[in-house]
Amino acid sequence: MPDTSLLLFMLAVPVAYEIVRYGGAAYLVYLGLRTLLNRREATAGAAIKPDSLRTIFLQGVLTNVLNPKVALFCHETNRYPG
């Protein structure tokens, strides 16, 4: 269970939890700024280029890895099976 081990690691080392928490916050700020800046470019008449599947996948992985609630959810759902 990798989710449980990640949760236990974050509980044992509070600094790791803080790193993930602030990393997630920084990533959300980055996404927000990128969206705002790209919106200005798009309204200027530039053609919108779709992101590659690799970019979309990596963005989803980063979002889930940096979200400690995902690890807590997986831990709790595995704790009380069916």
Q: pLDDT tens-digit profile of 14-42? A: 887 788 888 888 988 998 898 888 866 55
What region does 80 belong to: left with phi over 0, alpha with psi -120 to 50, or beta?
A: beta
- pTM over 0.85, yes/no: no
Q: pLDDT tens-digit profile of 52-77? A: 999 999 988 888 877 777 777 766 77
State the pLDDT at residue 41: 56
Domain boundaries, the chain: 2-79
In angstroms, the CA 48 to CA 51 distance is 9
* Structure tokens that stand for 35 in this block: 């969206």
